[in-house]
Amino acid sequence: MEPFAFHAELFELRNVVLEMLADHGFAWLSDFGSIDLLHDVYGIEVCAIREEPDAHAIERLLREKFSSWRHSRMYYKDASTREPGWKVIISRDPEDYGDKWDRVS
């Protein structure tokens, strides 16, 4: 089991992202539902984005803002989930999907 990672500075980055999205016309709780912190991969995710074109625009903004963070992805969560809509994730570190494919036994 991996130890829990905590990066307090991500809270400030969340505020930066919230402000950046507002500056580009995206309204919290109208165009997207939340901005979550990903301590394990040192990242940010914008959740419950209502429209696909907005998700692409948000992804571009995040990539520009965090140009040194090499890992990003976007996908759609259906209505059966807690926050349906598009999700955009960007992180400094790669995600670990638990498959350990690159580790030698």
pLDDT digits over 42-79, tens only? 999 999 999 999 999 999 999 999 999 999 999 999 98
Q: DSSP 3-state assignment of 105? A: coil
CA proximity to 77, closest of 24, 39, 34: 34
What confidence tens digit (pLDDT) does each residue in 81-98 have? 888 999 999 999 998 766
pTM: 0.85
Asked, for residue 105, whether it belongs to a domain, the answer is no
- Checking if the pLDDT of 24 tops 80, the result is yes
Q: How far is CA 78 from the centre of its chain?
A: 17
How many independent structural domains does the chain possess? 1
Full residue range of the structural domain in which residue 34 is found = 9-46+58-84
Cα end-to-end distance, the chain, whole Å = 16
Asked, for residue 22, whether it belongs to a domain, the answer is yes
- Checking if the pLDDT of 1 tops 50, the result is no
